[in-house]
Amino acid sequence: MAMLRAELTRRGLDGFVIPRADAHLGEYVAADCERLAWLTGFTGSAGMAVVLGTRAAIFVDGRYTLQVRDQVEGGLFEFCHLTEQPAGDWIAEHMSAGQALGIDPWLHSERQVETLRAAVEKAGASLAFQDDNPLDTVWADRPPAPSSPVVAHPLEYAGLAAADKRAQVAGELAKRGAGAAVLTQPDSLAWLLNVRGGDVPTSPLPLSFAVIHADASVRWFLAPAKATAAIRAHIGNEVTIHDPGELGPVLDELGLAWKTVLADPGTAASWIFQRLRAAGATILERSDPCQLPKACKNSVELAGARAAHARDGQSLVRFLAWLDREAEARARAGNPIDELEAAEKLLGLRGENALFQGPSFDTISGAGPNGAIVHYRVEEASNRPLGLGELYLVDSGGQYLDGTTDVTRTLAIGEPDAEARDRFTRVLKGHIALARVRFPQGTAGNQLDALARYSLWQAGLDYDHGTGHGVGSYLNVHEGPQRIAKAPSHAALEPGMIVSNEPGYYKTGAYGIRIENLVAVVESPAKSAGEKDMLAFETLTLAPIDLRLIDPALLVPDELEWLNAYHARVRAAHRAALDAETAAWLDEATRPL
């Protein structure tokens, strides 16, 4: 901290902003860009610190208000709530006229820069954009940038050749009058070029940038170490690999040629916009042109998703059978299963699956009150036994070459009480309402969100997270634009999109409940004359829902029918491949109610 302040002084800066971000502004940050964690100790997935001459503050959202106090020294940083005590207000209050606040334009979107600019201007101060990050200068043991080799993502999983994808995106550019687009999102690039990598944990992303031109050619700014001969052969002649340092000069060239260049103000760094503007390019602010076609999985990707979910579900069945066999008995014997053991058991079973590449995110394995912490990550310090009469929540997923999975089950260890069954059944009613819904073309996820909450709302309950996030195809477990949440959205749900269906209920200090399946948006043709074609969700996840936690009296016939039909699908998908004991368990766990 003292070294950082000295470096700031050397640069004539009165302060500096450290967001939890890399140059791709996404959720997945490699170790060399975990600057916020290095400086403050805070390891949450979102946050920001501001360091001034004599004071500093760290801003985190509601998920992390407890964690930040555990991890960050209160003597060095004030703790602020990201939305209730915005950084802009704090900056406006604590900076003075004539001062300069340094920012790294690679780590902020245009909108964030505007917010910071407004804040410093209130104080009469100004922003100072830094060509290199002052924190890196003092970060002695900074890890190297990741350099995992890029690998081809074969057509048998991608379903569409990269050349066809490039032509499709180029067609979009032409339609919008753009000569080129800057691509900054690693998953967009991975999709576009049919490649995968290993630069960040749990998502097969190669970190890189690219420019796609209206003639469908791509200039790909990729660290040379990541580009094997095989990958150079895979990408073909129309994709050329360049040193990442050449991105700037290429943007200059687009500007000099008076091109109209598409860039996404939601995801591209301010640096990109500044460079394009300085070069004289006309900027077309639009969402990343790969985002929507990537979100709408083709039939090969959907078939892959079904196959991946079948394998993944079978691991889950084995896990649940093991848990059911062991958890109660071992708890009674004083040798309970704990959260870490359960998570490892599940990961081990997944590891036996064909095409498995690793977990798609850090497993949430929460017993009793730990289940109520929505973003809980089990560690030695927090590890709890699965106690008798408690609920156990496990949210996990796998990366498979043919698809990405994400599933949550909540299990009763021993006999659950009436309140738990009531809450679980209400969550299930919400899950079923969404699983069964048919809806017109053009419907956005936010229009469906309340269907998943209705039964909880009726009892004065709710959950403080979205109902569904988009999921990639052997890519990010969180992707846009599809989403099911309270916040208004203009992104319609379109055929091929994969999204989670995960209502929940959390009682702080007591238990957490969540039931999560992934679903794909599919066409649902009119069933008889006079009706309209609709869209619907096909549930992909195939694993039993704990019957002990269901109060059948709360279910209406349509809901019971859905549950029994779902369990019949689960049984049919897995039974033949199981040993006799597990098959018998599955029969019981999926018996009709």
- The minimum distance between CB 488 and its own copies, in angstroms, equals 3
Complex with its own copies: residue 487 or 576, whichever CB lies closer: 487
- The minimum distance between CB 528 and its own copies, in angstroms, equals 8
Structure tokens at 82: 């990201």
- The count of other CB atoms within 10 Å of the CB of residue 148 is 18
Task: Indicate whether 337 belongs to the interface with its own copies (CB under 8 A).
Answer: no
Contact 304, 473 (CB under 8 A): yes
Shortest CA distance to 194 belongs to which of 226, 160, 219? Answer: 160
Could you say which residues in the range 453-492 bind its own copies, by CB under 8 A? 454, 457-462, 486, 488-490
Select the span of 224-232, 278-286, 294-302, 449-457 touching its own copies (CB under 8 A).
449-457
Task: Indicate whether 438 belongs to the interface with its own copies (CB under 8 A).
Answer: yes
Task: Indicate whether 448 belongs to the interface with its own copies (CB under 8 A).
Answer: yes
Task: Indicate whether 217 belongs to the interface with its own copies (CB under 8 A).
Answer: no
Tracing tokens 């779902």 back to the chain, one arrives at 566
C-alpha 509 chain-centroid distance: 26
Shortest CA distance to 516 belongs to which of 572, 591, 452? Answer: 452
Instruction: Identify the DSSP state of 200.
Output: B
Task: Give CA–CA dist 169/580, Å, rounded.
Answer: 51
String of DSSP letters for 335-370: ---BHHHHHHHHHHHHHTSTTEEEESS--EEEEGGG
Complex with its own copies: residue 149 or 440, whichever CB lies closer: 440
Q: Which residues contact 153 (CB under 8 A, 6 or more apart)?
A: 190, 194, 195, 196, 401, 474
Task: Indicate whether 507 belongs to the interface with its own copies (CB under 8 A).
Answer: yes
Contact 127, 101 (CB under 8 A): yes
Could you say which residues in the range 122-181 bind its own copies, by CB under 8 A? none
Q: Applying CB under 8 A, which of residues 70, 114, 164, 531 lies at the interface with its own copies?
A: 531
Q: Applying CB under 8 A, which of residues 89, 93, 285, 533 lies at the interface with its own copies?
A: 533
Task: Indicate whether 526 belongs to the interface with its own copies (CB under 8 A).
Answer: yes
Task: Give CA–CA dist 188/472, Å, rounded.
Answer: 10
Could you say which residues in the range 561-590 bind its own copies, by CB under 8 A? none
Q: Applying CB under 8 A, which of residues 436, 465, 548, 575 lies at the interface with its own copies?
A: 436
Structure tokens at 489: 């959205």
Select the span of 8-16, 48-56, 361-369, 441-449 touching its own copies (CB under 8 A).
441-449
Task: Indicate whether 509 belongs to the interface with its own copies (CB under 8 A).
Answer: no
Select the span of 100-108, 212-220, 226-234, 528-536 touching its own copies (CB under 8 A).
528-536
Q: Which residues contact 74 (CB under 8 A, 6 or more apart)?
A: none
Report how many residues bind its own copies under the rule CB under 8 A. Answer: 37
- The minimum distance between CB 501 and its own copies, in angstroms, equals 15
Q: Applying CB under 8 A, which of residues 125, 437, 498, 518 lies at the interface with its own copies?
A: 437
Instruction: Identify the DSSP state of 225.
Output: G
Complex with its own copies: residue 397 or 466, whichever CB lies closer: 466
Using CB atoms within 10 A of its CB, is residue 580 exposed (0-12), middle (13-18) or buried (19+)?
exposed
**Residues of this chain that bind its own copies (CB under 8 A):** 433, 436-440, 443-444, 446-451, 454, 457-462, 486, 488-490, 507, 524, 526-528, 530-534, 556-557
